[in-house]
């Protein structure tokens, strides 16, 4: 049991080191090589445009549920009109970026790992190297840049739809006064909450793209290996997002609020 645990820890540390090396190579490639705009726009469409449905649906459902649950508790102490502020702050700083990141992990991260993993086991990546084309320049950089651009935009869209959905539920279904709902939302939601959410979205986008690309590029074992790499990329990226979110919340709260 102890040897299994030690081996698992060593594997995690090895993966972390390899991911950091991939991040370094990506930064160097962006700095010294011009990314392919065609590949970037193609990935931007796949990652950003085609992910809108799942992200918007998640944001709307989260906003409605959060509004209903908050109202049910606040109604006991006659604080109904503060419901909008709780939904707005929660969606902007926490639920919006985290849930958008998790949805992107399931849809985009799995696709990246599967695509690169298939290229790895069919030796297409080795063929790129024989043509003096670095896989990071051609395959990783467009995906990372597209994810970094798409993640905050999708987060904004998710937060906006979630707040609108919560307003409809709160005012139309639960009977909260619409003017007070919006007034408290504007008064108690700070710009820092929005900035925190956007910073988290960028960090989560970097995690999703680098972890998925690493798992795809390190794939081995044919079709079974591709499936294993896809599963591992989703699990690792999802856990990383949840853990990093906690530390980002502490750091950014101290930075912007001074708590």
**pLDDT tens-place string over residues 4-61:** 777 777 777 887 888 888 888 888 888 888 777 888 899 999 999 999 999 999 999 9
Q: Is residue 4 part of a domain?
A: no
Q: Is residue 9 part of a domain?
A: no
Q: Is residue 17 part of a domain?
A: no
At 258, the pLDDT band (50, 70, 90 cuts) reads low
| pLDDT of amino acid 39 | 86
Q: Is residue 12 part of a domain?
A: no
Structurally, how many domains does the chain consist of?
1
Q: Is residue 25 part of a domain?
A: no
User: At residue 122, does pLDDT exceed 70?
Assistant: yes
259's CB contacts (< 8 A; 6+ apart) are 253
| pLDDT of amino acid 1 | 66
User: At residue 165, does pLDDT exceed 90?
Assistant: yes
User: At residue 259, does pLDDT exceed 70?
Assistant: no
**Which residues span the domain enclosing 205?**
34-256
Tens digit of each residue's pLDDT (9 = 90 or more) over 125-158: 878 777 777 788 888 899 999 999 999 999 999 9
Q: Is residue 14 part of a domain?
A: no
Q: Is residue 8 part of a domain?
A: no
- Cα–Cα separations (whole angstroms), residue 74 to 8, 68, 70, 82, 98: 45, 10, 6, 8, 25
Percentage of residues in the chain having pLDDT higher than 90: 48
Q: Is residue 5 part of a domain?
A: no
């Amino acid at each position: 049991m102890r040897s299994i645990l030690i081996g698992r820890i060593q594997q995690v540390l090895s993966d972390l080191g390899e991911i950091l090396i991939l991040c370094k190579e990506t930064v160097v490639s962006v700095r010294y090589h011009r990314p392919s705009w065609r590949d970037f726009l193609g990935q931007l469409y796949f990652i950003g445009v085609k992910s809108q449905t799942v992200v918007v649906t998640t944001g709307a459902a989260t906003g409605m549920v959060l509004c209903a649950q908050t109202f049910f508790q606040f109604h006991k102490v006659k604080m109904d009109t503060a419901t909008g502020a709780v939904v707005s702050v929660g969606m902007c700083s926490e639920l919006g970026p985290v849930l958008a990141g998790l949805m992107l992990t399931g849809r985009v991260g799995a696709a990246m790992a599967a695509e690169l993993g298939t290229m790895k086991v069919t030796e297409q990546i080795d063929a790129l190297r024989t043509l003096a084309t670095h896989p990071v320049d051609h395959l990783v950089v467009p995906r990372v840049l597209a994810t970094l651009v798409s993640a905050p935009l999708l987060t904004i869209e998710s937060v906006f739809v979630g707040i609108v959905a919560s307003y409809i539920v709160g005012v139309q279904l639960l009977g909260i006064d619409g003017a007070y709902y919006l007034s408290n939302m504007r008064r108690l939601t700070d710009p820092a909450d929005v900035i925190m959410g956007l910073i988290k979205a960028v960090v989560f986008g970097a995690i999703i793209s680098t972890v998925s690309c690493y798992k795809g590029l390190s794939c081995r074992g044919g079709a079974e290996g591709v499936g294993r790499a896809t599963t591992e990329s989703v699990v690792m990226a999802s856990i990383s997002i949840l853990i990093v979110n906690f530390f980002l919340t502490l750091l950014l709260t101290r930075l912007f609020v001074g708590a």
